[in-house]
């Protein structure tokens, strides 16, 4: 059989069996629609630690945020049944998590996770819905979360032959479109909007092929609450205040989503979905372009420092409005909080950005350099760059 014909045949069988496995368990387009049941899934657990930071494990952070989120819903919506896939440090297979939601005829499935990256630079939140990997970064996140099935017995039987070590499996799997895509995107967008409102850096709503979302018969999202490989994100997520902040943000998104869906009889406003998809595509394009431009060599990263304060300011502070489209972060150096844009892969790119930051009103902005996370003189960094 010709290779392309073989792939087409595999795809046909894959999609036929996949759609047979997805049966809508909630008819949510009637005038009397009520959101009655939500399943909260704390990622990883037991011998599956998930990703790790310098001091934190994903399984612990995810569980803490999940329990806090559930408690808020139970307290404020006693008519809503909250089901947890786990409330303790136990291991659950991915297909078991989806089965919990389907058995409960849930109206919403919320997975809580933490992100990771080989570089310490990326930070911020991402909320995923089931769908096509539009960037290599999205594929990487899905691969990392899906690799947990290697800890399961007989995983080939549970996931229709899906092989987490085969890139082709991930690509074919990501083509599956969830039956509740619109509702999932709506809730995901509300989560990211709430994160932004409290000063978190939102990396947007994204699509990727997550096994845990695959067989859920209801609106489903997977929330990456931040990067444990980023010092600032890890410190925030490991703290009680940070976990409360994240749970409250997701709760407010849930509250808005519930109100909106019930008042619309379970129907989704097409205009809102169109707006969310436009923003999603825009963010994916920006990330794709940045990935093409940014290639960090010899561990070098350049930033443009533009502000310093003895008082800690939120990145969303009105002082920084003119830089709202920049990737802003800050570090504490003795008593000073130093704010910067970046990172940039070369001194030339950073110098160009310095010019635009100065034009935005920060006349004293200047370039700083790091190698493998350690600050070094810019002149030294210049010599370390490839010729």
Q: Is the pLDDT score of 134 beyond 50?
A: no
Is 130 part of a structural domain of the chain? yes
Handedness of CA 295, 297, 300, 302 (dihedral sign): negative
Beta-carbon count within 10 A of 57 CB:
19
Q: Are residues 176 and 114 in the same domain?
A: yes
Total number of domains constituting the chain: 2
Q: Is the pLDDT score of 173 beyond 80?
A: no
CATH of the domain at 341: 3.30.70.1070
pLDDT given at position 114: 96
Q: Is the pLDDT score of 210 beyond 60?
A: yes
Q: Are residues 101 and 140 in the same domain?
A: yes
Q: Are residues 248 and 349 in the same domain?
A: no
Residues 6+ apart with CB under 8 A from 381: 300, 302, 347, 369, 371
Q: Is the pLDDT score of 90 beyond 50?
A: yes
Last residue of a domain, one of 289, 310, 344: 289
pLDDT confidence band for 161 (50 / 70 / 90): low
Q: Are residues 276 and 329 in the same domain?
A: no
pLDDT given at position 27: 42
pLDDT given at position 168: 56
Least confident of 189-193, 269-273, 379-383: 269-273
How does pLDDT run across 142-156, given as a tens digit for each residue? 565 656 656 666 655
How does pLDDT run across 7-54, given as a tens digit for each residue? 344 444 444 444 344 444 334 555 678 999 999 999 999 998 998 888
Q: Are residues 275 and 365 in the same domain?
A: no
| 319: exposed, middle or buried (Cβ count in 10 Å: 0-12, 13-18, 19+) | middle
How does pLDDT run across 272-292, given as a tens digit for each residue? 667 766 666 665 554 544 444
- Cα separation values, 360 from 304, 307, 311, Å: 13, 12, 22
Is 295 part of a structural domain of the chain? no
pLDDT given at position 10: 40
The phi, psi pair for 51, rounded to 5°, reads -80, 170
Domain, as residue range, for 335 = 300-384
Mean pLDDT of 164-168: 57
Is 346 part of a structural domain of the chain? yes
Is 294 part of a structural domain of the chain? no
Q: Is the pLDDT score of 251 beyond 80?
A: yes
Last residue of a domain, one of 258, 289, 320: 289
Q: Are residues 10 and 52 in the same domain?
A: yes
Q: Are residues 269 and 340 in the same domain?
A: no
CATH of the domain at 106: 3.40.630.40
Residues 6+ apart with CB under 8 A from 348: none
Last residue of a domain, one of 289, 311, 330: 289
pLDDT given at position 280: 65
Is 198 part of a structural domain of the chain? yes
Q: Are residues 14 and 119 in the same domain?
A: yes
- Cα separation values, 335 from 76, 106, 312, Å: 41, 49, 10
Q: Are residues 238 and 317 in the same domain?
A: no
Q: Are residues 211 and 321 in the same domain?
A: no
Q: Are residues 282 and 334 in the same domain?
A: no
d(CA 21, CA 216): 9
Prediction pTM value: 0.62
Contact (CB, 8 A) for 214 and 102: no
Mean pLDDT score of the chain: 80
Is 135 part of a structural domain of the chain? yes
Residues 6+ apart with CB under 8 A from 10: 172
Handedness of CA 312, 333, 55, 345 (dihedral sign): positive
């Amino acid at each position: 059989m010709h290779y392309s014909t073989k792939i087409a045949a595999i795809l046909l069988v894959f999609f036929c069996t996949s759609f047979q496995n997805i049966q809508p368990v909630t008819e949510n387009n009637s005038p009397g629609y009520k959101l009655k049941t939500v399943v909260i899934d704390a990622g990883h657990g037991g011998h599956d630690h998930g990703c790790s930071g310098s001091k934190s494990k994903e399984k612990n952070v995810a569980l803490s945020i999940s329990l806090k989120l559930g408690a808020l819903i139970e307290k404020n919506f006693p008519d809503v049944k909250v089901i947890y896939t786990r409330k303790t440090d136990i291991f659950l297979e991915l297909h078991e998590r989806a089965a919990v939601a389907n058995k409960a005829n849930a109206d919403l499935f919320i997975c809580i996770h933490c992100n990771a990256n080989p570089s310490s630079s990326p930070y911020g939140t991402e909320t995923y819905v089931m769908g096509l990997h539009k960037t290599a970064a999205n594929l990487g996140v899905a691969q990392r979360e899906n690799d947990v099935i290697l800890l399961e017995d007989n995983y080939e039987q549970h996931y229709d032959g899906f092989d987490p070590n085969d890139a082709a499996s991930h690509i074919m799997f990501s083509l599956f479109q969830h039956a509740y895509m619109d509702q999932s995107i709506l809730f995901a967008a509300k989560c990211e909007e709430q994160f932004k409102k409290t000063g978190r850096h939102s990396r947007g709503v994204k699509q990727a092929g997550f096994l845990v979302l695959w067989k859920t018969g209801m609106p489903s999202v997977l929330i990456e609450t931040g990067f444990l490989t980023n010092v600032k994100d890890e410190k925030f997520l490991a703290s009680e205040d940070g976990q409360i902040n994240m749970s409250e943000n997701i709760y407010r998104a849930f509250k808005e989503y519930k109100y909106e869906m019930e008042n619309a009889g379970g129907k989704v406003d097409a205009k809102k979905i169109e707006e969310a998809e436009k923003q999603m595509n825009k963010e994916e394009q920006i990330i794709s372009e940045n990935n093409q431009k940014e290639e960090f060599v010899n561990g070098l990263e350049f930033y443009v420092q533009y502000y310093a304060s003895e008082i800690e300011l939120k990145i969303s502070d009105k002082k920084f409005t003119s830089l709202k489209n920049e990737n802003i972060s800050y570090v504490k150096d003795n008593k000073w909080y130093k704010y910067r844009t970046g990172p940039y892969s070369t001194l030339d790119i950073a110098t160009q950005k310095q010019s635009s930051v100065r034009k935005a009103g920060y006349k004293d902005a200047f370039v700083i350099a790091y190698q493998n996370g350690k600050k070094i003189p810019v002149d030294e960094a210049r010599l370390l760059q490839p010729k």
